[in-house]
Amino acid sequence: MTGPSKVWPHLFWIYLLVGPTGVLLQQIQLEPLDATVHRGSDVQFKATVVGLWEVMTWHVRGLLVLTILPNTNISSSPGRFSATFCSSGDTGCVDFIIHNVTQKESGPVICTVQGEQGSKTAQLNIQESGTVTIVGGNITAVQDQHMTFQCITAAWFPEPTITWATNGRLVDSSLYNTTSTEAGDAYNSTSVLQFQALSDTVVECLATVQTLTEPRSSLIHLVVVPKPPDWTVLKAVVVSFGGIALLVLLIAGITFCYKRRKEKKPNYQQEMSRRVKTQGQVNTVYVSDNHKSAALGALNSSGFCQAKGTSVVEMPHVKNDQAEGCSNRSSPSVDLSGFRKHRHATIV
């Protein structure tokens, strides 16, 4: 036997449904009350009505899109909105469908039952995926080179979640950063990834929103070539030895030229003889320092005289028997017509 404490709640709900007039009131249940779908998909709402109703209407974002009459064919706008009874002969359950949803349908969806006025409102959210692109395409890099990759997403709603993967493995979030900007009803994002090139790598940028079953992605191939050997030390050694060798060669060349020049330099006597011969005459009075005394004696005995205390030897006048400034000495008469007179001879 059911106690009074269990009977009263049921009686209370019956009273709410029937009301004080004894007429069954309408109760509308709508589900889901919050629907989030991806653009281009279909979304369905189910309305359950307890009690009798005369007309059911559906409004999407404030626009009347569908009117339903019980026990009659359901009218619908072509291609975009439709409705069916959940089961044959059951007018208390209606499935309302929006086909190929767009951002225009994002907002409130209201089901209204006319008669004893009643309505329910659900919220429809439309998400949209745009493009994903890694800037630059495939890249070739040197081993250990610091690499920077940039991924750009455009026309997403809401702001997408961006991740990176290398060779199929997700990259630590500390290696990249992402910024987003709002452009009208969409979001554009830029994500920058940095790491060191070690080996050939498939780099992938992935973007997603809640309603996507698979992320949108873009990938490139990073080709890593071996690092060339460091020739810096070897170059320094070569340059050093080259400089030393050049200096040694320069010193040797200078020394060789100096010796050759010294060997080819004529002595004083050879130079004077060369000059006299070049001029086409011989200085018969020239004597070397070693034979100066003998030459002076020979000159004096031949008729020349030398002033005392000087190295100038005077030639006596050919028409005078005595030379000026010399002691009286007779000299043979010589006919010197046609010859030039030379009064002095200088001994160097």
**What is the full DSSP assignment across 56-83?**
EEEEETTEEEEEE-TTSPPP--TTTEEE
Element (H, E) at 28: strand 27-31
Q: In whole angstroms, what is the distance from residue 181 CA to residue 171 CA?
A: 23
Domain boundary among 69, 92, 127: 127
Residue 170 lies in a domain: yes
The Cα–Cα gap between 286 and 272 comes to: 10
Nearest to 299 by CA among 312, 289, 290: 312
The model carries a pTM of 0.57
Contact between 101 and 60 under an 8 Å Cβ cutoff? The reply is: no
Domain ranges, residue 55: 17-127
The whole-number pLDDT of residue 288 equals 52
121 and 144 part of one domain? no
Can you give the pLDDT at residue 243? 85
Bridge-partner residues for 208, per DSSP?
161
Residue 203 lies in a domain: yes
pLDDT digits (tens, 9 = 90+) for 180-211: 999 888 999 999 999 999 999 999 999 999 99
Is 103 part of any domain? Answer: yes
Sign of CA dihedral 113, 114, 115, 116: positive
Within 8 A by CB and 6+ apart from 116, the residues are: 23, 25, 26, 51
Task: Report whether pLDDT(341) > 80.
Answer: no
Q: Spell 252-285 as b/e; 16+ CB within 10 A means b.
A: eeeeeeeeeeeeeeeeeeeeeeeeeeeeeeeeeb
Rounded to 5 degrees, what are φ and ψ at 265?
A: -75, 120
Supply 218's token pair. 């873009």
Closest CA to 208 of 165, 249, 150, 172: 165
**pLDDT by residue (tens digit) across 259-301?**
877 776 656 666 666 666 655 554 555 555 555 554 444 444 4
Same domain, 35 and 106: yes
**What letter would DSSP give residue 214?**
S
Same structural domain, 121 and 155: no
Per-residue pLDDT band at 346 (split at 50, 70, 90): low
Q: Is residue 2 part of a domain?
A: no
For the ranges 34-38, 70-74, 79-83, 307-311, the lowest mean pLDDT is seen at 307-311
| Structural contact between residues 203 and 218, judged by C-beta atoms closer than 8 angstroms | no
| SS3 label, residue 140 | strand
**pLDDT at residue number 289:** 54
Say what percent of the chain tops pLDDT 90.
45
> For residue 193, what are the β-bridge partners?
149, 176
Does 289 share its domain with 341? yes
Looking at the structure, tell me whether residues 74 and 176 fall in a common domain: no
For residues 215 and 242, membership in a common domain is answered with no
Domain termination residue (choose one: 240, 265, 290) = 265
Q: Tell me, what's the pLDDT at 262?
A: 73
Q: What is the mean pLDDT of residues 144-168?
A: 96
d(CA 58, CA 67): 7
Domain assignment present for residue 261? The answer is yes
Tens digit of each residue's pLDDT (9 = 90 or more) over 20-34 = 444 445 589 999 999
Domain's final residue, options 97, 127, 157 = 127
> How many domains does the chain divide into?
4
79 with 157, same domain?
no
Average pLDDT over residues 236-248: 84
- Whether 21 and 112 share a structural domain: yes
69, 90: one domain? yes
Nearest CA among 285, 297, 280, 165 for reference residue 220: 165
Q: Among 48-62, 73-87, 224-238, 284-298, whose mean pLDDT is lowest?
A: 284-298
Q: Please report whether residue 24 resides in a domain.
A: yes
Q: Is residue 239 part of a domain?
A: yes
* Phi, psi at 54, each rounded to 5°: -110, -45
Burial (CB count <10 Å: 0-12, 13-18, 19+), residue 291: exposed
In the structure encoding, which two tokens stand for residue 338, read together?
């046609």
- Clarify whether residues 257 and 239 are in a common domain: yes
- The more confidently predicted of residues 10 and 27 is 27
| CATH for 106 | 2.60.40.10
Could you tell me if residue 82 is inside a domain? yes
| Same domain (yes/no): 241, 305 | no
Answer whether the bond into residue 32 is a cis peptide, omega within 30°: yes
Q: 206 and 289, same structural domain?
A: no
The predicted pLDDT at position 29 comes to 93
